[in-house]
Every structure is written in C-alpha cells, then in structure tokens.
C-alpha cells in the first residue's frame, strides 16, 4: 500500500546536502572578500558534518562569485548556519557583498568515476527518493518582546493592512500565520514561487515597514531596519527554518483549523526533538483516522515549533494533536523536551500531564491571513 502522506520538504531524508551561495561583490572588494573567506573556510572546516567547499568566480562578470559546500546531511548544516558562531564568522564578508542568495539542495543522484560502480552509492540512491512538491516554500521568523508588552505587540501585528499578495508573474504570497507563546513571536509564511523575492517585496511595503517600526521599542533584541548590517543580523538570528512539511493525500476536510505548538527542547536536543515530531507527522499523514491533516515543523537551536492543520479542536485528541501517538513516543518526547520550561513535570503517560502540555504548548493565534482574505 502506497503511503498517503506527501512530504514536500524534509531535512531528515538522510541525503547529503549541497549548499550554494551566490554573491555579488562591490567593485574593489575582492581582496578583502578573499581574506574574509579564508577565515571562514578555516573555521567551517572543523564543523561536524562539513565535507568540503569551493570558491568560484564568474568568467563573465568578475563581481559575481559562488561558494558551494557539501555536508553529510542537512541537520549539521542547519545547526551551523543558525548558530551565533556563524553570525560572527560571516560578519567580515558583509562590507564586501552587495547582494547574496543562498540555496540548499539534497543530493539525490551522483555520477563520477569513483561512484558509478560503487554499491554504496547505488544503495544510497535507492534510499533517497525525490519529494513531490506543491510549488510552495515555507519559512518562519521568531523573536522575543519585552515582558509586559505582549498584548500591545499582538495588537500591532494583528492590525496592519496586508501587503499585495501577487509579487510578480511567478511569485505570490499565499499565507501568513502569526502566533505568540508568552513573549515569543513566531511568524510563518507560505510563498508560491521565489521565497527570497517575496520576503524582499514584503519588507519594502509601507504598511509592513510601519508596523515593524511600531514594534521596535518592544523588542528584546535591538534592531535598526534602516541599517543593512543591523537588519541582516536580526533576520539571521530570527530565522526559524522549516525542517519538514507533510500533508496527507486524502481529500482535505471541509473544516481545517491551523494551530501552532511550541516545544522547547532540552539544551542541545532541538534537532532530535524536531526529527521525532517530523516522524510522528509522517505517520499521522498515513493514518486515515488522524485529525492531523498537514504539518510543518520549524526548528532553530532548542526552539521547535510545529504548525498543524487539524480537523476539529486540539483537545478532542490531545495525544494525536501533540504528536505523541504510538508506543513509547511519549517517553521519547520526555527525554527531549524541557518540560519545566512549559510547566510539565513527570510522565507524559498520564492524561493530566498530556493535557497540561497541550495547554502550555498551544500558541496564541494573532493573525492568519491568506491571499484571498
């Protein structure tokens, strides 16, 4: 029987990862850039999971450069690129670069003299299947606001006029969902077409710029969006990448509700927690009786957020809603979850603690805007 779930995005398929960074340098900045690259190259060489990298210069336009790197899999790269160490490592490059674009690809097939006859490579090829996409890119940002300002920030973020959804002929902002958990804000976006083009389009809209300025005094991390360096550092630290998106292949129920659940991991266990929840949601997509129709798992450091499209209310089936269904899964989550951070102590095998976890994990919906609303 074929699986009923369709995974369009995953950091957990076991494939090696190819990262491509396109750069457009300022004139005369090449030597400074090369010095900065050498420092970065030496540091990244010692990062677990890193295999190799290459620096290339265009033969047509000397201001255009390309950095490619290969990683054992996506998780170690995501851990590195979202770390404070990475923020500091790439800082010397910023003054050299006019524009950048980063792309990440799973390596599914490979041809070469040392690999064409390799049984290991052939076996790996058989294990890594191409994902069936839906033409939608998913990404999120998260940041914290000063305690006591939560209601004011929620009011500001819910009250602005939506920017125009159609960006260009091929790019469209499909949905923006915004939630809060205490003083933490999570903004998730879905984009048809080019994610970077859409994000830049949104950032330029007057109504968006106005609300971003209005919430600046309430942020715990200072920022100045008129300063490219300050804006770059803020959005780098705020990035909350999607590590999996899965949706059931069964017909969508008429009444789907979107919820966000916040799972703080024990220190250093965020990726493991995200992997467990991703596995649970793949199983839910294959279960015709599961209320969970679709899910996107976002993770950065020890912050894990699970966006779920669910039939009915979360508390109708707390175990399925939380991703705990299955033998031993509650015990696995206990080992990874910082239960004290959200007020849960003791075993998740008890109904009381499951309900308590659901109550604490359930994020406050602020706004959920679709292109047609």
User: Phi-psi region for residue 287, left (φ > 0), alpha (ψ -120 to 50) or beta?
Assistant: beta
pLDDT value of residue 148:
97
Q: Is 119 exposed, middle or buried (0-12, 13-18, 19+ CB in 10 A)?
A: exposed
DSSP 3-state of 222: coil
DSSP 3-state of 347: coil
Is this prediction's pTM over 0.85? yes
- Count of Cβ atoms closer than 10 Å to residue 121 Cβ: 16
DSSP 3-state of 362: strand
Number of H helices, E strands in the chain: 12, 13
Q: Residues 336, 272: contact at Cβ < 8 Å?
A: yes
What is the secondary structure of 47-88 as a DSSP string?
A: STTEEEEEEEE-SS-TTEEEEEEEESSHHHHHHHHTSHHHHH
pLDDT value of residue 2:
41
Q: Residues 15, 144: contact at Cβ < 8 Å?
A: no
Size of the chain in residues: 373
pLDDT value of residue 127:
55
Q: Residues 12, 297: contact at Cβ < 8 Å?
A: no
Beta strand segments in the chain, E? 5-10, 17-25, 50-57, 64-71, 97-106, 136-144, 172-181, 184-192, 239-248, 256-264, 292-300, 303-311, 364-370
Dihedral sign, CA of 251, 253, 258, 259?
Answer: negative
Q: Quote the crossing angle between the two packed helices 84-94 and 74-81, to the nearest 10°.
A: 70
Helix or strand (DSSP H, E) at 160: none
Query: Are β-strands 17-25 and 292-300 bridged in parallel, bridged antiparallel, or unpaired?
Result: unpaired
pLDDT value of residue 67:
97
φ and ψ of 156, to 5 deg? -65, -45
pLDDT value of residue 122:
42
- Count of Cβ atoms closer than 10 Å to residue 103 Cβ: 11
pLDDT value of residue 372:
66
How confident is the prediction along the chain (373 residues), in pLDDT tens digits per residue?
344 468 888 999 999 999 999 999 999 999 999 999 999 999 999 999 999 999 999 999 999 999 999 999 999 999 999 998 998 999 899 899 999 999 999 999 888 776 544 444 444 444 577 887 778 999 999 999 999 999 999 999 998 888 888 888 889 999 999 999 999 999 999 999 888 888 888 888 888 899 999 999 999 999 988 888 888 889 889 999 999 999 998 888 888 999 999 999 999 999 999 999 999 999 999 999 999 999 999 999 999 999 999 998 999 999 999 999 999 999 999 999 998 887 777 788 888 889 999 999 999 999 999 976 5
pLDDT value of residue 203:
84
CA–CA separation, 81 vs 310, rounded Å? 32
pLDDT value of residue 319:
95
């Amino acid at each position: 029987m074929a699986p009923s779930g369709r995974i369009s995005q995953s950091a957990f398929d076991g494939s090696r990862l190819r990262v491509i960074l396109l750069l457009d340098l300022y004139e005369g900045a090449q030597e400074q850039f090369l010095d900065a690259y050498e420092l970065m190259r030496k540091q990244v060489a010692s990062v677990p999971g890193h295999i190799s990298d290459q620096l290339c210069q265009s033969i047509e336009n000397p201001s255009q450069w390309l950095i490619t790197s290969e990683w054992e899999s996506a998780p170690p790269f995501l851990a590195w690129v979202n770390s404070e160490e990475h923020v500091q490592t790439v800082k010397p490059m910023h003054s050299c670069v006019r524009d950048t674009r980063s792309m990440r690809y799973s390596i599914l097939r490979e041809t070469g003299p040392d690999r064409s006859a390799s049984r290991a490579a052939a076996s790996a090829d058989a294990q890594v299947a191409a994902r069936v996409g839906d033409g939608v890119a998913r990404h999120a940002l998260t940041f914290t606001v000063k305690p006591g300002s939560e209601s004011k920030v929620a009011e500001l973020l819910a009250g602005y006029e939506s920017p125009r959804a159609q960006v260009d002929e091929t790019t469209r902002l499909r949905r923006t969902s915004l939630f809060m958990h205490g003083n933490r804000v999570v903004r998730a976006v879905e984009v048809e077409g080019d994610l970077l083009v859409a994000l830049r389009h949104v950032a330029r809209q007057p109504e968006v710029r106005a609300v971003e300025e209005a919430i600046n005094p309430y942020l715990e991390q200072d920022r100045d969006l008129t300063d490219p360096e300050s804006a770059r550092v803020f959005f780098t630290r705020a990035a909350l990448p999607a590590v999996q998106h899965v949706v059931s292949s069964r017909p969508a129920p008429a009444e789907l509700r979107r919820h966000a659940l916040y799972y703080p991991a024990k220190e250093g266990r965020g990726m493991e927690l995200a992997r467990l929840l991703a596995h649970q949601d793949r199983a839910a997509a294959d279960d015709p009786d599961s209320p969970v129709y679709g899910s996107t798992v976002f993770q950065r450091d020890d912050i894990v957020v699970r966006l779920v499209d669910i039939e009915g209310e979360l508390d109708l089936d707390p175990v399925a809603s939380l991703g705990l269904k299955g033998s031993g899964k509650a015990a696995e989550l206990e080992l990874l979850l910082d239960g004290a951070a959200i007020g849960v102590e003791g075993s998740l095998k008890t109904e009381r603690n499951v309900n308590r976890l659901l109550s604490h994990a359930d994020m406050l919906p602020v706004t959920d805007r679709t292109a047609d609303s």
